[in-house]
Every structure is written in C-alpha cells, then in structure tokens.
C-alpha cells in the first residue's frame, strides 16, 4: 500500500549519505548499518507528490534526506489542516509501525524531496536492539511534543506573533544556516503558513509583507531568509 501512490525514481543507497542526513542512524554500529543497507530504498520524489495516505497500513518507515514534506489531515468540515512540516533528518511513518495501526495522516512533498525507507519490522528491530536508536526516537518524540505545546500556547496571541512563531518553528526544526549568520527556510505557499498558524491566508500575507518591510525576513523565489533570528524572537517577548 505504501508505494502505490508514489511515482518516484529509485536511486542507489549511499550509506554515508543516509547516516549523515538521518539523525536516527548516526552512531549505530557499522555491522548493524551494513545489514540494514540491503533493506533500504532511496527515492527522489517531485514536489506535490503524495507519499502516504491516511488509513494506509504502515509497512515502512521513512527518513527525509533532502527536501520538505507536509503532514496533513482534515477537520470535521472537510477542510485541510497542515499539522507539521518536516525536512532533512526527520522521520515519519514510525507511529503506525510501532502501534501496528493504519496511518493517521497524509504525507505530501512540498519540494523535490529525497527519501529513504526501511521495512517496519527492520525499524522495530533496531529500536529494540540498539539503545542509541531508542534514545533518538524518544528525543524525536519529545521535540515534537515541545513544538505542539509551544504552538498551542500561542493560539490566542495576535496575528503577528502567530506568524512569527510559525516561521521560527520552521527555522528551529529545519532551517539552513547561511554564511551571513542568518537562516533560510523554503518560501512556503501562504496557504501552508495559514494552516500552520491558524490564520486566514490574507492575514498571513499582510503580516509577511509587514515583516519584510521591517527587514526581519527576506523573500526571494523559493527561499525565505531570516537574517537575524534573535530580532524576530523579540516580537514574541
């Protein structure tokens, strides 16, 4: 079921690339990694490609080596809700594998994305036999819980604070450091930022324009730059 929605191109497995990009694998015994590599599949996906659909059964666990995906569901009115944006180094599909239940969300690429996957049983074997892997999985869960708590606290804040928090949330999780000391994140469509922040798209557009005029963000094609993260954080204080 996992693969019927993907129209991706398989690529050779590069063990070094896998361990450098996927935090989960870093530091695991070489013997374990060499056995695992025979079960790893790497694929390049185009933007706007469905990787998983809600209610699929979890046959694999996925690791993002490059690019961005969104985690999506729908509310009771049938409106799309973006729950999270994940990028390089992140894992998804692990909950269905561990609980042996159907997927609870959709996963769709936002940019051209390179993803590796391993069978769920191999993932569970590593978690159960390698203490370091279990610790990393716990750290991932803790990080996501902190992010959710932070966003919930700001649900009653003003629109500027909510947009700023969304940008900082993305920068904290997947921001790319640049030579000038700033951070770059993908310049996501305003509908995605709207869903993440819980604001109307028009409101998000107005706030981004205001932030850009103040020099707090810089937008160019597919990149949104934050030249000074601390200056943006002051808005929340």
Identify the burial level of 22 via C-beta atoms within 10 angstroms of its C-beta, where 0-12 means exposed, 13-18 middle and 19 or more buried: buried
Using alpha carbons, select from 140, 128, 135, 141 the residue that is nearest to residue 32. 128
CA atoms within 13 A on the CB side of 55: 1
Mean pLDDT of 26-46: 86
User: Distance between alpha carbon 43 and the CA centroid of its chain, in Å?
Assistant: 17
On whether the CB atoms of residues 14 and 41 are closer than 8 A, the answer is no
Mean pLDDT of 77-98: 84
* Number of Cβ within a 10 Å radius of residue 213: 9
Beta strands 113-119 and 41-45 are: antiparallel
CB < 8 Å & 24+ apart, contacts of 36-40? 36/118, 36/122, 36/126, 37/13, 39/118, 39/119, 39/122, 40/13, 40/116, 40/117, 40/118
Give the CATH class of 9-153. mainly beta
What phi-psi label fits residue 215: left (phi over 0), alpha (psi between -120 and 50 degrees) or beta? left
Segment of 44-53, 88-97, 152-161, 173-182 carrying the highest mean pLDDT = 44-53
Residue 186: both structure tokens together: 């993908």
Question: What's the half-sphere exposure (Cβ side, CA atoms, 13 Å) at 134?
Answer: 7
pLDDT tens for 120-137 read 999 999 999 999 888 888
Please give the angle made by the CA atoms of 166, 86 and 57, to the nearest 5 degrees. 130
Q: What is the full DSSP assignment across 94-105?
A: HHHHHHT-B--S
Please state the φ and ψ torsions of residue 70, each to the nearest 5 degrees. -115, 145
This prediction's pTM: 0.80
The fold of 157-234 is: Arc Repressor Mutant, subunit A (1.10.10)
Per-residue pLDDT tens for 136-147? Answer: 888 888 888 887
The residues of the chain that CATH labels 1.10.10.10 are 157-234
User: Where does the chain hold its CATH 2.60.120.10 domain(s)?
Assistant: 9-153
Mean pLDDT score across all residues of the chain: 85
Give the per-residue pLDDT at 9. Answer: 64
């Amino acid at each position: 079921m996992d693969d019927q929605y993907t129209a991706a191109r398989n690529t050779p497995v590069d063990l070094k690339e896998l361990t450098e990009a996927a935090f989960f694998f870093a530091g695991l015994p070489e013997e374990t990694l060499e056995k695992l590599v025979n079960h790893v599949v790497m694929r390049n996906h185009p933007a706007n490609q469905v990787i998983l659909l809600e209610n699929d059964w979890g046959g694999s666990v996925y690791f993002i080596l490059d690019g961005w995906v969104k985690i999506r569901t729908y509310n009771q009115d049938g409106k799309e809700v973006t729950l999270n944006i994940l990028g390089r180094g992140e894992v998804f599909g692990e909950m269905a594998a561990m609980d042996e239940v159907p997927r609870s969300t959709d996963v769709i690429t936002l940019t051209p994305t390179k993803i590796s996957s391993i069978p769920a049983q191999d993932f569970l074997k590593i978690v159960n036999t390698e203490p370091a892997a279990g610790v990393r999985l716990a750290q991932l869960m803790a990080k996501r819980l902190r992010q959710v708590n932070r966003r919930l606290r700001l649900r009653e804040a003003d629109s500027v604070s909510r947009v700023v928090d969304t940008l900082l949330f993305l920068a904290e999780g997947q921001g790319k450091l640049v030579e000038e000391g700033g951070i770059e994140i993908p310049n996501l469509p305003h509908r995605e930022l709207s869903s993440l922040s819980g604001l109307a798209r028009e409101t998000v557009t107005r706030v981004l324009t205001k932030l850009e005029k103040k020099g707090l963000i810089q937008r160019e094609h597919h990149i949104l730059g934050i030249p000074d993260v601390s200056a943006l954080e002051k808005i929340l204080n």
